[in-house]
Chains A and B, each alone.
Chain A
Amino acid sequence: MNKHRNCKKKRAFWLPLLLCFFCALALLIPRDATSLSKLSRRFFFHLFQNDTAKEVFGLEEAEWVFVFGNETDSVFL
């Protein structure tokens, strides 16, 4: 019984701490660092350097440039 109670106490102690950790993250981390959208852009930008990936997506060079910009575009590099 005591053992069970101790476990509960320990859990109640850690949960608010983790919550504070996430709140701090929410305040401190810049938007770009948690952007799934940016991650997706970077992932496909690197993937489409490969011609096979371009073929799978049926991608024209002009379409790639339209979506991702030029290779010199600093946003993705």
Chain B
Amino acid sequence: MKTLQSALFFAIPFFLLVRALTAIETVLFLLSALLHEAGHFLVLLFFGYRKKTAFSLSPAGAILAIDTTFLPYRKEILVYLAGPTFNLIGMGVTLLLLRQTFTFPLLYFFFCNALLCSINLVPIEGLDGYQALFSFICLFHTPEKAKQLLAPINALSCVLLLVASLALFVLEKNLSLLLLIASLLIEGKTKKATKIS
């Protein structure tokens, strides 16, 4: 039942986000999410990760359920930052293509990569930005202390992102960002397992 609830929590906002898109736009959105996860996974493979990995989609992209406890903190930082870095590479390649042929699907792919990269770098618990920062602080302090230090940053980021998404709704009548934030917060509350998103 709990699994079904979690699956629906991801499926409904995801449906809301993509139902107004054409098939090609949905594919491009999923491709940018795959690119992000491929970044994490390739770096993990490079560091010798050989276990089975659960992969699922979420409105904020995708989730790889991976146990990174076998890695030292330095390598863990690289794994967490690999996803946004791959999105940046995707943006660079798309920019080059856009300079050749300026079309909306390419522009949209650029936008999806930019959105996934920037949202994932926000230091909110469960996102890459928070995890990378957490691993970085753990180089100098205990995990408990790191969590303590990051608590106010986490809260402030949540508030700022919520204000930004509300502003977007008021100014542009668009709920996309609000849905992304809501699903991220629910995801953080419902998923306790070690993961990379």
Contact = CB atoms under 8 A, between A and B. Distances in A.
B12 A57 contact: no
Given A29-B175, A34-B176, A23 B98 contact: no
Contacts, number: 95
Interface residues of A, number: 32
A67 B33 CA distance: 24
Contacts of A32: 20, 173-174
Contacts of B50: none
A40 interface: yes
B172 interface: yes
Contacts of A57: 95, 98-99, 102
B111 A43 contact: yes
Nearest to B21: A37
Chain A residues touching B, majority SS: helix
B132 interface: no
B19 interface: yes
A19 B107 contact: no
Given A33-B174, A57-B98, A41 B16 contact: no
A7 interface: no
Contact of A36 (B104, B107, B112, B172): B112
A56 B16 contact: no
Contacts of B179: 25, 34
Nearest to A58: B99
Interface string A54-68: 001111100110110
B5 interface: yes
A37 B19 contact: no
Interface of A: 15-16, 18-19, 22-23, 25-26, 29, 31-44, 56-60, 63-64, 66-67
Given A15-B9, A19-B12, 12 more contacts: A33-B175, A35-B20, A36-B18, A36-B112, A37-B108, A40-B107, A44-B107, A56-B95, A57-B99, A58-B99, A59-B102, A66-B102
Interface of B: 5, 8-9, 12-13, 15-22, 25, 29, 95, 98-99, 102-104, 107-108, 111-112, 115, 168, 172-177, 179, 186, 190
Counting from the closest, the 4 A-B pairs by CB-CB distance are A35-B20, A58-B99, A40-B111, A31-B20
